[in-house]
Structure 1
Amino acid sequence: MGNPKAFLTIDRKEAGYRPIHDRIHDYGEVEQTLNSHDRQLQASRCMDCGVPFCHSACPLGNKPPEWNDALYKGDWRLAYELLNATNDFPEFTGRICPALCEKACVLNLIEHQPTTNREDEAAITEHAWEEDYIRPVVPERNGKKVAVVGAGPAGLVAANRLNRMGYKVTVYEARENAGGLLRYGIPNFKLNKEVIDRRLRLLREEGIEFVFGVHVVSDKKAVGDIQNDPTLSADKVMTFDELSTAFDAVVVSTGTPQARDLKIPGRDLKGVYFALEMLAQQNRVLAGEEIKKDQLVNTKDKDVLVIGGGDTGSDCIGTAHRQGARSVTQIEIMPKPPVGPDDPKNPWPNWPRTLKTTSSHEEGCVRRWNINSLEFLGKDGKLTGVRVQPIDWKPNPEGGRPIMVEAGKPEVIKAQVVLLAMGFLRPEQPQLASNVFVAGDAASGASLVVRAMASGRDAAKKVDVFLSPKE
């Protein structure tokens, strides 16, 4: 390391967010950037610890000490090469990853000032694009074809890796563009979609073919389910069996399309939506798509209730602010997490399950925990509020999930829009042929983008082993 003692004299410095009064009026990325000098100083804080726990904490196995050292010394090209060796798309994770590596950083244990790995990662990658370090690489073909079903993070990584190995890769995507959750779930104020498009242009130059509007199903009888989804079109339907016959191998990376529902009285009232109905639609509007007025999910001048305390719920809060919501409340059925930085139940280097306050929360939101939803209330078919009740959790004498008990009288939260952000159901995969491999959330259930990317990389390795000549 160029300066192994920098962590003793240089404090952690984050780029921070744009001012609230400025950012809530647009969908530009909220996060700011440091100048190159400050960024290199932050990289110098990586302390060359004997056991870099950041390696094992990162699902991709990124090596922050190596690329932070190169960044500190001003070798931006080497920094990117080291970063890209383990991370196919660091411009994505540099913006939206929760940075498990930072929580496992030795400096986080010592003084709760870990190295700014995520911001360093984003800065390295943007510099690489600006300086034209990232150029198309068209590999020599090996004569074999692989289909990737689903163009989300896992599918894109699998496609990229397999293409670099020499396979002819065709990506089938049901929607009108690639990116999956990156494009249709994560708001533009966290991830500008030009960042995705820039990478897609490169992937196409390298020989990957993208086919949109194609639905791959286990049985063509399932086309009826597609027709019930207004965001999809059933222009073309294929089966997994057809793909596994036409290609040497197939990677299934279709994510977790089914959101967890809240089937309580009043669920059919107008004004109750799944979170992704709003988030995907808003991103489409920003991309120039026109939405019919009767299908528009808009919170302008409305009281909004977000049910679910995770990142998706946070994204709904930020989007509601930008649409002009009158008020935003977020409720969570589970207890309030401990206020950090430490979590006694998940000690370092594990991820601390502590209270997370996002940029969207900072923009204004009433947050409540241990609240159970009982009934959606309405008038003339339209939502007017939600009857909820404070609850508590007691240990189950038989083990397993704690028991919910009442802890207060029911009350009504006024709302004309409810956004259900309670996670996703783990998909069940049909019986698949031996040359079909499942990756990402389709295999594990909903998780982090960085884990989906790691799964896509692993699936590409499995395909390569499967298709490689056996000695």
Structure 2
Amino acid sequence: DFICNVAVGTDVTADQLKAKYDAVLLSTGATKPRDLPIEGRELNNVHFAMTFLGQMQRALFNQNPELMDNCISFRTPFKGNKDWKVTSDGTYIDVKDKNVVVIGGGDTGTDCTATSLRHGCKSLVNLELMDKPPDSRDDVANAWPAYPRIFRTDYGQEEVKDRDGADPRKYAVMTKRFIDDGAGNVKAIEIINLKVARDDNGKPTIAEVPGSEQIIPCDVIILAMGFVGPEQQLLQDFAVETTKQSNVKALHGSNGDGFATSQKGIFAAGDCRRGQSLVVWAINEGQRAADAVNKYLLSCRAEDAARAVRDGVQSGRTAMGGGRRGLHTSAQEPSSDTK
């Protein structure tokens, strides 16, 4: 069963889940965003990336799923009635005709760039802490088989270039402060250029360039600087051990092994276990974790059967582990009426 609109830890507790199910798989992702605690962080219109992106998706689906068809190209305006932007909690971050600054140059920053463009933002600047990557791989500092660190232009930047005539990215800059308009709203951002040097292994060191401060006017700032791990409260509720990076401590495995946490019957997979990563890893870990949970449940059935024999109770239901609540396994021999 898929049970939607449930906040685990609020609508249902960890203890309730452990009491009802023999195995629980945590696959909550790594959604705790990296913050930027500088002067002016408390100002209005400074948002985390996932707040901005998540409310956009919810607003579209709450109004009409067909509106998603209008997200294919920034040249196609949104359609629908005047209330299409209202989310389920009545909030919405609208950047139409606004000057937007996106801080962070990864995939999430790209999505924020493209989404802002689809809103119809007035201007957009994308800030990146590190220097601009080279056009070709450094065969010494970035040798194969390491992922090639080369300059790329993703769909979000391509669309801004198509509309505005220039790439929106500024490389090797650090944000110094957010500037107040006098009424508690952000009106500009101060940045400074950085000098980035790399050692023989490609490890960077950065230093501010004195006198290179710049002020960029803006109405909205979106923080897309990555994630620092999964939300911790649920992990605390399940009392699972975590790593130094605050991820769930569980080994990767295959063929039914791995993904078990420090608590019996509690498993973890995906970004909450390995940290922020790509969807291909989530798919891989989901499949392998399912095998691990299945193997665990089968071992529980064997323990039940052995215990039943020891206790002199050999009812068919108990011996087959019918009381176990978990995954159905295709490894189980079919019954005689289906052979």
TM interval, short-chain normalised: 0.5 to 0.7
Q: Is 1:451 aligned to 2:281, yes or no?
A: yes
Corresponding residue for residue 387 of structure 1:
190
Structure-2 separation of matches of 1:264 and 1:356:
30
Give the AA of the match of 1:385: A
> Which amino acid counterpart does residue 274 of structure 1 have in structure 2?
F
Question: How many Å separate the matches in 2 of 1:391 and 1:350?
Answer: 26
Structure 1 residues without counterparts, runs of 5 or longer: 1-208, 218-233
The size of the alignment, in residue pairs, is 243
Is residue 247 from structure 1 mapped to residue 39 from structure 2 by the alignment? no
Counterpart of 1:237, as a letter, is V
Deviation digits for residues 404-435 of structure 1, max 9, x if unmatched? 31124211111111110000012354433210
- In proportion to residue count, which structure has more helix? 1
Cα distance between partner residues in 2 of 1:248 and 1:292: 34
Among 74, 96, 106, which residue is 1:310 paired with? 106
Q: Is the 8 A contact 1:256 1:441 kept in 2?
A: yes
Q: CA deviation at 1:305?
A: 0.6
Equivalent residue for 1:297, pick from 93, 101, 104: 93
Matched, 1:416 2:219: yes
Aligned residues of 2:176 and 2:192 also touching (Cα < 8 A): yes
Change (3 A) 1:271 1:459: same
Choose the corresponding residue for 2:2, options 189, 202, 210: 210
Question: Between the two proteins, what is the percent identity of the paired residues?
Answer: 36
- CA change 1:393–1:350 in 2 (3 A) is closer
Residue in structure 1 matching 2:266, options 421, 425, 436 = 436
Where 1:237 maps in the other structure, the secondary structure is coil
Instruction: Confirm or deny: 8 A CA contact 1:214 1:238 kept in the other structure.
Output: no
Greater Cα shift, 367-376 or 289-298:
289-298
- Does the 8 Å contact 2:103/2:109 carry over to 1? yes
Bigger radius of gyration: 2
Match of 1:262 among 36, 44, 48: 36
1:272-351 alignment to 2 at 5 Å? 272-289=46-63, 290-291=86-87, 295-340=91-136, 342-344=137-139, 345-351=141-147
Q: Which residue of 2 aligns with 1:35?
A: none
Name the structure 2 match of 1:359.
Answer: 155
The normalised TM-score by structure 1 is 0.48
Find the aligned partners of 1:354 and 1:293 in 2 and give their Cα distance. Answer: 41
TM-score, normalised with respect to structure 2 = 0.66
Q: CA deviation at 1:293?
A: 10
Distance 2:95 2:219 in 1: 8
Report deviation, 1:390: 0.4
Distance in 2 of aligned mates of 1:292 and 1:465: 40
Q: Are the aligned partners of 1:306 and 1:328 in contact in 2 as well (CA < 8 Å)?
A: yes
Counterpart in the other structure of 1:6: none
In structure 2, the CA distance between the partners of 1:294 and 1:254, relative to structure 1 (3 Å rule), is closer
Distance in 1 between residues matched to 2:290 and 2:116, nearest whole Å: 38
- Could you say what secondary structure the match of 1:295 adopts? coil
CA distance in 2, matches of 1:271, 1:401: 34
- 2:24 & 2:30 partners in 1: Cα distance? 18
The CA RMSD over aligned residues, in Å, is 2.5
Cα pair 2:62 2:87 within 8 Å, conserved? no
Q: Distance in 2 between matches of 1:293 and 1:375?
A: 30
Equivalence for 2:179: 377
Unaligned runs of 5+ in 2: 64-85, 161-166, 241-262, 304-339
**Counterpart for residue 238 of structure 1:** 13
Cα distance between partner residues in 1 of 2:277 and 2:216? 30
Q: Distance in 2 between matches of 1:400 and 1:243?
A: 47
Residues 392 and 405 of structure 1 are in contact (CA less than 8 Å); yes or no, is this contact kept in structure 2? yes
Query: Match for 1:315: what amino acid?
Result: D
The separation in 2 between residues aligned to 1:383 and 1:301, in whole angstroms, is: 15
Aligned pair in 2 of structure 1 residues 324, 400: CA closer, same or farther (>3 Å)? Answer: closer
Give the aligned residue type for 1:214.
Answer: V
For the residue of structure 2 that corresponds to 1:339, the secondary structure is coil
The structure whose RCO (Cα within 8 Å, separation 6+) is larger is: 2
In 2, Cα distance between the equivalents of 1:326 and 1:390? Answer: 24
- 1:26-68 per-residue CA deviation (whole Å, 9 max, x = no partner) reads xxxxxxxxxxxxxxxxxxxxxxxxxxxxxxxxxxxxxxxxxxx
Question: 1:394·1:404 contact (CA, 8 Å) conserved in 2?
Answer: yes
Structure 2 match to 1:460: 290
